[in-house]
Amino acid sequence: MVKHTLPLSFSLQPAPEQIAQVHSHLLDWYAAEQRDLPWRSTDDPYAILVSEIMLQQTQVDRVLPKYQQFLAAFPTLADLAAAPTADVISTWIPLGYNMRAVHLQSIARQVAAEYGGHIPDTIEELLKLKGVGRYTAGAIACFAYKKQVAMVDTNIYRVLHRIFLGLEHSGSKLNHHYMLALAEQVLPGGKAYEWNQALMDLGATICTSNNPQCTGCPLQATCNAYMEMRQYSLFPSGPVLRQLRKVAEKKETYQARPFTSTNRYFRGRIVDHLRSLPSGQRIPLAALGPKIKPDFRDDDLSWLQQLIARLEKDGLVNYTEEGVRLP
């Protein structure tokens, strides 16, 4: 396995004492407080693959009911690979980011064709699957096959950065490659499964992005970010707090834009309407427009064509001059 290395300019090497304390406190906390999630009660690599794809950019509470429904509809990788893509998309809705369903089925078909239906168990082979990145490969290797590997998702990045580097303000952030190197450096021997799950649980419940609950954190005494926040609480005009305010302002500006005006919203509306049509039936774009946008006008047609072209590229629709339908 390829090991990642920290940059020569990276001066912080966590002290063995800090690493040992973090291991002890976090693993003890996880043993008592771990979330009861269905994908943690299985080592089926297919079920874990489904959960990991669903959890991309989607909250756990939204994934839970759809995870069970999806596995009931496609209980094995072979079932998913053989299913009509339209059925896969329909079962996925309304989870969002529907192209993930197409990517998931593509992975299933690749595994069926190239690996005899058995999902590989090494990072190197998993990365050969189209659409599987380093985090997903690590998750499958660790959670399904109990391999001692590190991984970095959004929650793990944030937790490790805050513990060992401090607040994630500009000038201190490591890129993903170097953060993975740090994750490998602090990985406890023989405890990769519990460690990675604990980091994700802490990031999801306590060490959150916008409102961390530091007073209830098991790592408070060993966290560089907590010490940094205590320092700058004495100097409200300090650079850390200024940076945090800038991040908050950017998020407020983005969130001020109504979701119902975004292309993502209309992509979902298109797929939802196509699901309501009889199987195989096409609808002309001129008729589809008013169905998804009540104030649709003739000059919106080029915008709709661009949305349809993108959906077709993502494998979510089939488009001809006669109209559009699910694949």
Give the catalytic positions in this structure. Answer: 52
Q: Using CA atoms, how far apart are residues 78 and 44, in angstroms rounded to an integer?
A: 13
What is the rounded distance in angstroms from the CA atom of residue 34 to the CA atom of residue 28? 10
CB within 8 Å of 200: residues ≥ 6 apart: 153, 155, 156
Cα three-residue angle 253-201-50, rounded to 5 degrees: 85
Decide: 207 and 226 in contact? Cβ < 8 Å. Answer: no
d(CA 23, CA 284): 59
Phi and psi angles of residue 161, each rounded to the nearest 5 degrees, phi first = -60, -45
Q: Rounded CA gap, 101 and 74, in Å?
A: 12
Say which amino acid occupies 59.
Q
Amino acid at 51: S
- Three-point CA angle 212, 169, 155, nearest 5°: 45
Nearest Cα neighbor of 49 from 165, 137, 127 is 137
Coil vs helix vs strand at 154: helix
Q: Rounded to an integer, what distance in angstroms lies between the CA atom of residue 30 and that of residue 207?
A: 14
How far is 148 from 162, CA to CA, in rounded Å? 23
Quick check: helix, strand or coil at residue 57? coil
Q: Are 55 and 156 within 8 A, CB to CB? A: no
